Amino acid sequence: MRVTIKDIANMSGVSVATASMALNDRPGINKDTKKKVLEVANKLHYRPNHSARSLITKKSGCIGLIVTSIRNPFFSKLVDVFNKEVEAMGYSLLLGITNDKIKLEKKYIDLFIERNVEGLIIVPTIEKSPDLTQLYMLKSMHIPFVFCTTAYYGLKADVVMTDLMEGEYQMVKYLIEKGKRNIYFVTCDQSLMLSSLRLDGFKKAHADAGLSFSNDQIIETVPDYDHGYKTGIELSKLKPDAVVAINDFLAWGITKAFKDCEISIPQDVSVAGYDDLLYSSLFEPALTTVKQPITQICKKTLEVLVKNIEDDTQEAKTYYISPKMMVRDST
């Protein structure tokens, strides 16, 4: 049914081997022969069968990307950038969306192994005590992978992320300098790297300023818009002078709750986020936040991944990208 290299070979009167070499632009074949073969291939709209090729070359030309969400603008940009970069490198992107379910993460890793990905980029889920067997398997199979934006504690692997501690440190320091003394920190499960590092920044900023804070000022919740709103309603009773949320979604929800409680921002309370989502600058008031330079993160991640593909004996390392504070109207 479909035209194969055999058809091309027959029609151009050469052997399959010659046709293959001609099509792949290999040296040592006659100019005219090559021209002939390419003409025929073109006329018949020949497309090489990827499965057959990949079976023998053992290269799938695929890189897997496992991401927790795609509707979160932060990650949709991340996926977009990865897609472009990966294509530019001549690979294809295989996408897995976990919605923060470790079970799905495992499923995708299995799937991607079956599809012979040459490397894997993983944005870890926020599940409490993740089961990492699949990741150990990747290691034992020598399939390179790199964590992106955050990582799992307890697994030695390369990580590319913004310096979360530093970002949150700067934000809290800035608020303290603005005279805030009752800053609430809205975060998620503290055993996760992405929250514990940020919390460290919060703590360090207080320590450096010689200030103390109570544990009540640290509020744990699910880091999305709806929980942000709920938390905002509760916070409204506590009269904070500033609220720092672990991401912009939370900050939006909190903002909305404050508005609904007729608490005005930034007059009554400052609100800050983290991520700098595309829409955060359009919101009212425009959100003060910490920008994660996505393009830079993606490029670095791929660079590290490629290095691992070429040589998987390197020591695992964490690469920090500097975040950038975006001061806007909400503080």
Site residues for a second copy per CB under 8 A:
2, 45, 47-52, 54-55, 60, 70-71, 73, 76-77, 79-80, 83-84, 92-95, 97, 110-111, 113-116, 137, 141, 252, 256, 278-279, 282-284
Question: Of 266 and 325, which CB lies nearer to a second copy in the complex structure?
Answer: 266
Question: Of 47 and 178, which CB lies nearer to a second copy in the complex structure?
Answer: 47
23 contact choice in DNA, a second copy, none (CB below 5 to 8 Å, kind-dependent): DNA
Binding segment toward DNA, per CB under 7 A, in 43-51, 242-250, 281-289, 294-302: 43-51
What tokens were used for 317? 């390392």
2 belongs to the binding site for DNA (CB under 7 A): yes
Handedness of CA 194, 197, 203, 205 (dihedral sign): negative
Task: From 15, 54, 61, select the one nearest 36 (Cα to Cα).
Answer: 15
95 contact choice in DNA, a second copy, none (CB below 5 to 8 Å, kind-dependent): a second copy
Cα–Cα distance between 196 and 173 in angstroms, integer? 17
- ∠ CA 150-152-155 to the nearest 5 degrees? 125
Q: Mutual orientation of helices 294-310 and 73-88 as an angle, nearest 10°?
A: 40
Question: Of 168 and 248, which CB lies nearer to a second copy in the complex structure?
Answer: 248
Minimum distance, C-beta of residue 203 to a second copy, in the bound complex (Å): 32
81 close to 298: Cβ distance less than 8 angstroms: yes
Minimum distance, C-beta of residue 35 to a second copy, in the bound complex (Å): 21
Question: Of 20 and 231, which CB lies nearer to DNA in the complex structure?
Answer: 20
278 contact choice in DNA, a second copy, none (CB below 5 to 8 Å, kind-dependent): a second copy
Give the helix/strand (H/E) hosting 152. none
Please tell me the number of Cα atoms within 13 Å of 158 on its side-chain side.
25
292 close to 275: Cβ distance less than 8 angstroms: yes
Spatial neighbors of 17 by CB under 8 A, at least 6 apart, are none
Instruction: Write out the residues near DNA by the rule CB under 7 A.
Output: 2, 4-6, 14-18, 20-21, 23-24, 26, 28-31, 33, 46-49, 52-53, 55-58
